[in-house]
Amino acid sequence: MNILIFNCGSSSQSFKVYSIVKESPPKVVASGKAKNVATKTKAEPQIDWQINGQKGSKQADLSSHRLAAIENLRLLQEHGVTVDAVGHRFVHGGEFFTSTALITSETTEKLKACFHLAPIHNPNSYSVIDVCREMLPGVPQYAVFDTAFHASLSPEAFRYALPLDLAARHGLRKYGFHGLSYTYVSKRAAVLLGKPLDQVKLVMCHLGTGGSSVCAFANGHSVETSMGYSPLAGLVMSTRSGDIDAEVVLELLRSGMQAEEIDEMLNNRSGLIGLSGVSSNLEEVIAEGEKGSEDCRVAAGVYANRLKLYLGGYYWMLNGADAIVFTDSVGTQSWKLREMVCGGVESLGIRLDHEKNRLTSAERESFIEAEGSTARILVIPTDEESVILDEVIQALNQ
């Protein structure tokens, strides 16, 4: 059987089709990634794909995730790839979902009820589910949730300092995100470090072209993470503000802005695009800063400073870590960012090997710390699709 995995990010949409044969490891027969989906950047939207040994790139209208899904499914159909089941990354399951769910009429209503919790992600993922219903009628679909990884958070970590009855009534708590990526990366880091998963301490940085977060990991599970009730909290991101003083929102409300306007501004017009006025892409912002744009130079600095704050806090919380891990597109590709946040902290015992950092490939797992560093520094390409696949296979077997 063939299982199609859709991984819908805020500005990208990846897919993989795995051929599943008994007593053989899953084999990828098709894969692709739609880039610059529904986002503002100088780069053109396109789909890079590999199917049955062939590969290519295709420019298309990727102004929405629905359109991207249609193009991706058309590619599979044009190359004769059949699909027997579909797994979807669904970012926020709220209080409804803490494990993988078969998508039914009852499930869809609960998924819709979670839209407001991750307004950039959840509606987009749901639109892909709708496209699959239309183009793959009768094929079972499953939702796999990023928030499930952080179900282990303690009350000290997930509670906000709000009145208990109010928080309980509205479900106001930290959920955490990027759980699929952290599941994969933590397992790979443990293997590379030669330690059992429940004995490693990691500070993991999932830095994407859309969303970014940091996770403190110990005793085999998540103990703290930078995103919160929604994916808006924490780090500065491509178009999201990350942490801001709550009084800022109240002041904007008092000034006459509507809640929906503020929501749209904080999620879609803030972060790097808001700070730089040029691009939501970190590499483009850094490049413009190096050419002399003061706004871009400061934007990259704000991005790096926020990441440093979380790295330092989580390293302290864990009483040190076996490794600091960088993953996802920005985390694996931007040697300049890694140098900005890991350079100049030798008094803490963290020593970056600048040559290894610059020369490492985004496609391979690498250690980039210098000799004598108290913590290893790892670059690990993530593979969220393989985690979704495992969840779908388990659900099908049940």
In the DSSP assignment, the letter for residue 93 is -
Annotated catalytic, 295?
no
In the DSSP assignment, the letter for residue 174 is -
The DSSP H or E segment spanning 263 is helix 259-268
**For helices 335-342 and 294-317, angle between their N-to-C axes, nearest 10 degrees:** 60
Sheet of 202-207, strand order: 221-225, 212-218, 202-207, 323-327, 376-379, 366-367
The phi and psi torsions of 12 (rounded to 5 degrees) equal: -145, 165
Place of tokens 């209208």: 61
Side-chain-side CA neighbours of residue 95 (13 Å): 7
CA distance 16 to 386: 9
The DSSP bridge partners found for residue 377 are 324
Reduced to 3 states (helix: H, G, I; strand: E, B; else coil), residue 249 is helix
* Catalytic hit among 48, 61, 84, 146: 146
Q: What is the CA radius of gyration of the chain?
A: 21
The DSSP bridge partners found for residue 325 are 204, 378
Contact residues for 323 (Cβ-Cβ < 8 A; gap 6+): 189, 193, 200, 202, 203, 375, 376, 377, 378
For the annotated catalytic residues, the residue numbers are 146
